[in-house]
Amino acid sequence: MKVLITGGAGFLGSHLSEAFLARGDEVIALDRDAQAKVRHLLGHRRFRLVVDSVMNPEILDALAAEADLIYHLAGVVGVEHYVADPYDVLSVNVNGTQNLLRAAYKHGRRVVFSSTSEVYGRNPAVPWSEDADRVLGPTTIDRWCYATSKAAAEHFCLAYRRLGLPITVLRFFNVYGPRLDRLDVGRVIAILLGQLLRGEPLTVIGDGSQTRCFTWIDDAIRATVAAGIVSAAEGQVINVGTDQETSIRALAELMIRIGGGPSTIRFVPHASVYGDSYEDVPRRVPDVRRMKRILAVEATTALADGLARTIAWFRGANADAARPAVA
Ligand code: UDP
């Protein structure tokens, strides 16, 4: 089988590429940048990297024509982008998805779309089943542009489903592991890890009581692969994650315990990190029953185990591979 993965050189995409290569499939990764995360795959005879964008309909049409299955993972992710460049977030996540769906529909290709737990916003009634309400803040708070863009993209996916396109929407919950982000940039684990490795205090935003369910990459990838293969997944929206809830303060404490060294915790106010255009999500927990039932996958890796492996990877020689080749 030939699998097209948009965003194939990103964090999830690079791991998904490895998983399909390990199955014996062919992979075409389409990505606009950040080749470092797939540098180790570039010589593989069943792997091809196409450096282009989902904003280019011609390339999508050509690649969709030759693929048997499409994963649409390309998107702009990371709170620093939501508050710095909401235009890019909205444009790529909404228009890029439309471009992809048009090409997939024309060629009749099955699609798996990567959405996010962020679409639930700050709905206080956790855990969230896939049909839970979306509770977002005002449009004047840039942070919500990501949730809005992904929800709009989901609507497009479901509209194409009505036209007969076989499609699955996955909502990922704080997936982490090797190659997550550059140290100090992006998601909380990458930021805290940079501080930990330098022995600096770990910056916990607010009082650290906000929670996330950190999902080990290999668990998320098993669910993602199944979503493209299991026929019962067609037409479904599925949470992908663990329901083990961890406060950010507990995350920081665990990282210090596992990583060792002199780091302590420093509590910092929201506004000092992200400015005024940021609101936090107090609790984020998935209902994972559908994932278990349809995809037959459970995210069982304990946070302590996944963190130990992540810290070891970033400490090791591979740390350089997390830095993008093109700045
Ligand atoms: N966070 C933190 N310190 C940091 C960066 C983030 O305490 O240096 C917190 C952030 O406020 C949020 C959580 O960690 O509550 C997760 O943030 P992330 O940026 O990974 O993404 P989110 O889960 O909010 O989409």
List, for residues 254-283, the tens digit of each pLDDT value: 999 999 999 999 999 988 887 777 889 999
Q: Which amino acid is at 82?
A: Y
Q: Which pLDDT score is estimated for 325? A: 38
Three-state secondary structure string covering 71-99: EECCCCCCHHHHHHCHHHHHHHHHHHHHH
Give the tens place of pLDDT for each residue, 212-240: 999 999 999 999 999 999 999 999 999 99
Q: Which pLDDT score is estimated for 327? A: 29
Please answer whether residues 108 and 261 qualify as being in contact, where contact means their C-beta atoms are separated by less than 8 angstroms: no
Q: Which of 11, 79, 83 to mutate to test the pocket of ligand 1 (most atoms within 8 A of CB)?
A: 79
Q: Spell out the residues 6+ positions from residue 327 whose beta carbon is closer than 8 angstroms to its own.
A: none
Return the CATH fold of 2-177+214-242+286-300. Answer: Rossmann fold (3.40.50)
Three-state secondary structure string covering 184-231: CCCCHHHHHHHHHHCCCCEEEECCCCCEECCEEHHHHHHHHHHHHHCH
Average pLDDT along the chain:
94
- Give the H/E segment covering residue 28: strand 26-31
Q: Which pLDDT score is estimated for 323? A: 47
Kindly calculate the radius of gyration of the chain based on its CA atoms and give it in whole angstroms.
19
Strand partners of residue 247: 211
Question: What is the domain partition of the chain in residue ranges?
Answer: 2-177+214-242+286-300
Please answer whether residues 181 and 322 qualify as being in contact, where contact means their C-beta atoms are separated by less than 8 angstroms: yes
Question: Region 174-199: what's the mean pLDDT?
Answer: 94
Q: Which pLDDT score is estimated for 126? A: 98
Please answer whether residues 184 and 200 qualify as being in contact, where contact means their C-beta atoms are separated by less than 8 angstroms: no
Q: Which of 71, 82, 120, 146 is catalytic?
A: 146
Give the tens place of pLDDT for each residue, 283-295: 999 999 999 999 9
Q: Which atom of ligand 1 is nearest to the CA of 195?
A: 8
More confident residue, 24 or 321: 24
Instruction: Decide: helix, strand or coil at residue 50.
Output: strand
Q: Which residues line ligand 1 (CB under 6 A)?
A: 79, 118, 174, 187-188, 191, 203-205, 210, 212, 248, 280-281
Q: Which atom of ligand 1 is nearest to the CA of 189?
A: 20
Å from CA of 187 to ligand 1 middle: 6
Å from CA of 50 to ligand 1 middle: 32
146 among known catalytic residues:
yes
Q: Which pLDDT score is estimated for 272? A: 82
CA distance 182 to 215: 18
Question: Region 76-84: what's the mean pLDDT?
Answer: 85
Q: Enter the pTM of the model.
A: 0.95
Å from CA of 188 to ligand 1 middle: 5
